[in-house]
Structure 1
Amino acid sequence: MASELNASTWDDTQLHIPIPNEGQIPQGCVWVPCIPDYTTNSYIPIYNLYSFPILNPLPQPAGPVKTNIKAKISRGGLKTKPWKENEDQLLRDLISQYGTKNWAFISKSLNEALYDSQCIRKGKHCRERWHNHLNPELNKGEWSYEEDIKLLNLKQKVGNKWSIIAKDLPGRTENGVKNRWNSLMKKAKCDSNLACYSNDVIACKLIEDFEKERLNKA
């Protein structure tokens, strides 16, 4: 069959290869679906037999197993590269000139200036970089009692809507308020007296304690 493979004479109906019944497979063999490779006039198995657990395992080859199929896309996806200082500075300049609305245009301008128009930074990357790191209005300092009390009250009121909560806490980002909430809950549950309570009960207790601390420092 391999010698008869030819792209010009290949019939689409031949792609529908029937799966053999269990009794048709010789003992000790595993049926593996294949795809035709016109460049070599051969079949390529879709799966690697050595990766399948079977009752009587095949002996492992001495060297690395080679396959004819190479993954074109990483299973882990494409990772964003760390931002460089020249990128940050150009992003600040572009935002100063064009504002914080048209992120697609800003990312395009940045890629044209630094990466020969390659799509390295997308609009989403630029927006997140600005709002989470570069915005001079960001508050990266210690949380005050007032901020913690407002965070706890808002969390009980709107739930896990971190973007809404962040809007009522100037300078704090969505990730910042979420991380602060998780940190408060984790620290509180380290106390054996609070570990068995729900987050809502712990939040009420923390609000009470923070109010007392705030009044004592006033």
Structure 2
Amino acid sequence: MHICYTAQIHNRTMDSDINNLYWAFPQYTQNLPKFDELPQGCVWVPCIPDFTTNTYIPIYNLHAQIHLPSNTKTQACKSEKIKISRGGIKTLPWKESEDKLLQDLVELHGLKKWSLISQEINKALYDGNEMRKGKHCRERWHNHLDPGLNKGEWSYEEDIYLLQLKEQYGNRWSLISKGLQGRNENSVKNRWNCLIKRARQDPEMQYYSSDTITAILIKELQEQRSQTNN
């Protein structure tokens, strides 16, 4: 699509007929008025050529929302099905029936075919509308439903190991989580952020870098573990 520019008067107090004077220009750019010939209040907006009328059509109106002409492919490709973001409708709570179906489908298809699992959930519970996507189902399983998930309190050993791995691997949470049995990537990242945030409540550590705080926490937790074991 070729993008060119045309002038549009931007003054809400002007008459609507005057406002539309510069919406369409002839096909050839040399016929466009010079900058100093434009009325006061004109600005340039992107437009696309309409070869059926030899005019330029602005992509949006300065006084309204962005829109495309009705004859573009964007309008023609609209679907009747409900469209959602890649991760699913995050504001839609998971129902008990969905969790049960997700568990059954994971047992049937394994932990690889998330797209197929989401399709079956949508077909069974939402009349085929795309309310859940594969990424959404995968996150629901790994963050909430996995029976191997450890949701208990973090031990000194886990915290120390987490901080040591963070020093070594940085933000590679997936790799770090593999060293902590039952702790997934999301819980590991949340735990580290929680430790850093709690440490910064101390005025002396408020302006320390995360790396410095991590080193201090490792030493403090090791001392606390020794005192507890004694």
TM-score by length of 1: 0.71
Aligned mate of 1:185, from 185, 196, 203: 196
Distance 1:212 1:204 in 2: 13
Q: Which has the higher strand share?
A: 2
SS at match of 1:143: coil
Aligned mate of 1:157, from 142, 165, 168: 168
Q: Does 1:210 align with 2:221?
A: yes
Residues 66 and 96 of structure 1: is their aligned pair in 2 closer, same or farther, counting only changes over 3 Å? Answer: closer
Residue of structure 2 in register with 1:197 after alignment? 208
The question of whether the paired residues in 2 share the 8 Å contact of 1:107 and 1:126 is answered with yes
Distance 2:184 2:207 in 1: 30
Q: Does 1:27 align with 2:59?
A: no
Distance 1:66 1:148 in 2: 50
Deviates more, 1:201-210 or 1:152-161: 201-210
Structure 1 residues not aligned, in runs of 5+: 1-13, 51-64
Distance 2:29 2:94 in 1: 50
Residue of structure 2 in register with 1:100 after alignment? 111
Distance 1:69 1:90 in 2: 41
List per-residue Cα deviations over 1:74-125 (Å, max 9, x = no partner).
Answer: xxx7361332221111001111222212222222222222223333222211
Structure 2 residues not aligned, in runs of 5+: 1-25, 79-83
SS at match of 1:206: helix
Q: Does 1:49 align with 2:62?
A: yes
The question of whether the paired residues in 1 share the 8 Å contact of 2:142 and 2:184 is answered with yes
Aligned mate of 2:180, from 157, 169, 179: 169
The question of whether the paired residues in 2 share the 8 Å contact of 1:44 and 1:68 is answered with no
Alignment of 1:120-131 (within 5 A): 120-131=131-142
Residues 104 and 67 of structure 1: is their aligned pair in 2 closer, same or farther, counting only changes over 3 Å? Answer: closer
Deviation at 1:175, TM superposition (A): 1.5
The question of whether the paired residues in 2 share the 8 Å contact of 1:25 and 1:31 is answered with no
Distance 1:200 1:66 in 2: 46
Supply the RMSD in Å over aligned alpha carbons: 3.4
Distance 1:109 1:121 in 2: 10
Deviates more, 1:85-94 or 1:147-156: 85-94
Distance 2:44 2:109 in 1: 61
TM-score by length of 2: 0.68
Residues 103 and 33 of structure 1: is their aligned pair in 2 closer, same or farther, counting only changes over 3 Å? Answer: closer
